[in-house]
Amino acid sequence: MELRGRAHRFGDDINTDYIISGKYKFKTLDMKELARHVMEDLDPDFARKVQPGDFVVAGRNFGCGSSREQAPLALLHAGVGAVLASSFARIFYRNAINTGLPVVECDTSRIDGGDELIVDLEKGVIKNLTKQEEIPIKPLPPFMLKVLADGGLVPHFRKYGTFNLD
Amino acid sequence: MGKTIAEKILSRKSGQDAYAHDLVVASVDFVMGQDGTAPLAIRVFEEMGGERVFDPARAAFVIDHSAPSPLEGVSALHHLMREFARKQGMILYDVGEGVCHQLLPEKGHVGPGSLVIGADSHTCTYGALNAFATGVGSTDLAAALVSGKMWFRVPETIKFICHGRLPPGVYAKDLILYLIGQVTADGATYMAAEYTGEAIQALSVEARFTIANMAIEMGAKAGLMEADEKVRVWVREHGKEDFEEAKADPDAVYARVLEYDVSRLEPQVARPHRVDNVAPVSEVAGTPIQQAVLGTCTNGRLEDLRIAARILKGRKVHPGVRLIVAPASRRVFLEAMEEGVMQDLVRAGAAVVTPGCGPCVGTHNGIPADGENVISTANRNFKGRMANNKAFIYLASPATVAASALAGEIADPREFLSKEVSGCGTAG
């Protein structure tokens, strides 16, 4: 799986309420509506600026806070191709894989907003085309890679009828 | 090789000899969703081709986050939950019953050694009863409703040993805020937290829930304690008879062991906008506040209301402060009325709202205005948490919240506790 896009830079401890505010996620299951408000408390123009396939790039503990998977879904529906962070909160990490949003743990300190990136999940490497650098990715356990390759837990369940760890 | 509590429970429930880092598929004892997560899980359940819930007697939906509904859109989602629960024959706790994390233990759905998943991040609360309980999202909830199973990466464990006894006026909330401040908001990411030591043993079961509840605020997957006689009595009183405790082996392997002497701890406050931005109350005392919140899954139990009432009884909330009280459940509300605690709070000036999540999550029931400061017994103070990103949330114990509501500014509760009541510190 090779992804290509532009980086949008955020800081440490981006919680699920920053990703999509609680005031929206309780009243609708319309993910397109939620996607219009993604990241708006941090960058009101983000939903307008993000191009299909672009990357959200952040520091430590991305996705801390609530268990609501409206957070990864709002990012997916806004067109975000993957989230790159130096570490993730565990419920968000799980939810992202379950919903088919690639999450990439790596050293993000040298990636700036606007950098052009190619993320190769199989080879486990990010090519920063703007800076002519390569960044290694912390590999995903095979089961998670499999769920991601299936497109999330729904297609995985449809395919196998249960969890396939083999 | 010895096992931690997490390794013991996940081994039993998966039928595998499991250790930290192993990937297992385990059978769950109970599954829960609330109104922020269940509607999406219902949709995913259908997308997965689910027809019947694996065991309707071991699955509950709780309408607590936005209850009663403040909006048409929310009402439609509540309706969807009621219809699904009715069709499936599963348990539904509707508007007014209380907060999911109070209800599951209170209704006897959880006991020592249980494996529980809940589509709410504070599901780790039940770890106080020696249950491996963890928060998941809607897709995991749907998969568990279909299969009764869940995949887990067995966590490493970080062990907190708390020596000494909490001094008067210092409570479980102060202890957990202090520990989070020490290890930071991601200090236990992907791990289970085990809490032990004299200070924990001295606490009531209610106070232990407060500590387990906030394990997620240090990034942990579960917040675990061993069961003792207090826990056994508590769960039996709440209708749970069958359970198998999980005790850590003496040679269990821990990622980290941290020891603290808490006998000189001061009341603690988490300042905006991070739960780990913790300071002793003396450093923030005098900060003006406009709203005080008593309740939530962290501190909305009878013992918490009693602690606040001891300070508020016969006094009046500062005229510049709104004190909002949300009892954690109908049962708590009734008990607080029966023993006069509720009268003390209301006479002091409290506005009581429906048992449930109340203002904590920011859907209704007390959204602060721009620039306002709130002191709350809740577990999160993120920017925007109470639906206004221009407000400032401070977190503290019920005693500190009550004292601050009287003073109109953040105040040290020890100044308000008379000598004869100060002995309650060890219970809190």
Query: For residue range B398-416, what is the model confidence (pLDDT) as tens digits?
Result: 999 999 999 999 999 999 9
* pLDDT tens sequence across A50-65: 999 999 999 999 999 9
Query: Which of chain B's residues have a Cβ under 8 Å away from the Cβ of A90?
Result: 189-190, 219, 221
Q: 3-class SS at A15?
A: strand
Q: Calculate mean pLDDT across residues B308-320.
A: 98
Does residue B194 contact residue B248 with C-beta atoms inside 8 Å? yes
Percent of chain A surpassing pLDDT 90: 78
Q: In whole angstroms, what separates CA B424 from the centre of its chain?
A: 21
Residue B419's pLDDT is 42
**How close is the nearest chain B Cα to the Cα of A74, in Å?**
13
Confidence of residue A139 (pLDDT cuts 50, 70, 90): confident
Residue B57's Cβ-count burial label (10 Å; 0-12, 13-18, 19+) is exposed
Residue B326's pLDDT is 98
Q: Is the pLDDT of residue A146 over 60?
A: yes
- The ipTM assigned to this model is 0.94
Residue B356's pLDDT is 97
Q: Calculate mean pLDDT across residues B144-162.
A: 97
Question: A interface toward B at CB cutoff 8 Å?
Answer: 13, 15, 17-18, 21-23, 25-29, 41, 60-61, 64-70, 72-73, 87-91, 94-95, 98-99, 141, 143, 152-154, 157-158, 162-163, 165
Does residue B290 contact residue B404 with C-beta atoms inside 8 Å? no
Please compute, for residue A147, the number of CA atoms within 13 A of its CA located in the half-sphere on the CB side: 27
User: How far apart are the two ends of chain A, measured CA to CA in Å?
Assistant: 20
Contact call for A25 and B36, based on CB within 8 A? yes
* Angle at the Cα of B356 from the Cα atoms of B354 and B362, rounded to 5 degrees: 95
Residue B315's pLDDT is 97
Q: Is the pLDDT of residue B425 over 80?
A: no
Confidence of residue B292 (pLDDT cuts 50, 70, 90): very high
Q: Which residue of B has its CA nearest to A160?
A: B48
Residue B127's pLDDT is 98
The DSSP code for A19 is H
Buried b (16+ CB within 10 A) or exposed e, A122-147: eeeebbbeeeeeebebeebeebbbbb
Residue A87's pLDDT is 96
Residue A141's pLDDT is 84
Q: Calculate mean pLDDT across residues B258-262.
A: 98
Mutate to test the interface with B, among A90, A92, A103, A159 (most CBs of B within 10 A): A90
Query: Among A21, A61, A95, whose Cβ lies nearest the Cβ of B137?
Result: A95
Residue A114's pLDDT is 97
Confidence of residue B120 (pLDDT cuts 50, 70, 90): very high
Query: Among B39, B73, B136, whose Cβ lies nearest the Cβ of A67?
Result: B136
Residue type, B310: R
Q: Is the pLDDT of residue B424 over 70?
A: no
Mean pLDDT computed over every residue of chain A: 93
* pLDDT tens sequence across A71-124: 999 999 999 999 999 999 999 999 999 999 999 999 999 999 999 999 998 889
Query: Which of chain A's residues have a Cβ under 8 Å away from the Cβ of B219?
Result: 61, 64, 89-90
Contacts of B229 (CB under 8 A, 6+ apart): none
Contact call for B185 and A61, based on CB within 8 A? yes
Residue A97's pLDDT is 95
Enter the tokens of residue A42: 């941090």
Contact call for B139 and A64, based on CB within 8 A? no
* pLDDT tens sequence across B1-19: 999 999 999 999 999 999 9
Confidence of residue B428 (pLDDT cuts 50, 70, 90): very low
Contact call for A68 and B36, based on CB within 8 A? yes
Contact call for B137 and A68, based on CB within 8 A? yes
Q: Is the pLDDT of residue B157 over 70?
A: yes
* pLDDT tens sequence across B335-379: 999 999 999 999 999 999 999 998 999 888 999 999 999 999 999
Residue type, B164: G
Mutate to test the interface with B, among A10, A34, A38, A67 (most CBs of B within 10 A): A67
Contacts of A78 (CB under 8 A, 6+ apart): A35, A38, A46, A47, A50
Contact call for A157 and B121, based on CB within 8 A? no
* pLDDT tens sequence across B78-92: 999 999 999 999 999
* pLDDT tens sequence across B92-113: 999 999 999 999 999 999 999 9
Mean pLDDT computed over every residue of chain B: 96
Residue type, B380: R
Query: Which of chain B's residues have a Cβ under 8 Å away from the Cβ of A157?
Result: 48-49, 143, 146
Confidence of residue B418 (pLDDT cuts 50, 70, 90): low
Q: Is the pLDDT of residue B426 over 70?
A: no
Residue A166's pLDDT is 79
* DSSP element (H, E) containing B207: helix B205-213
Residue B290's pLDDT is 98
Q: Calculate mean pLDDT across residues B57-70.
A: 97
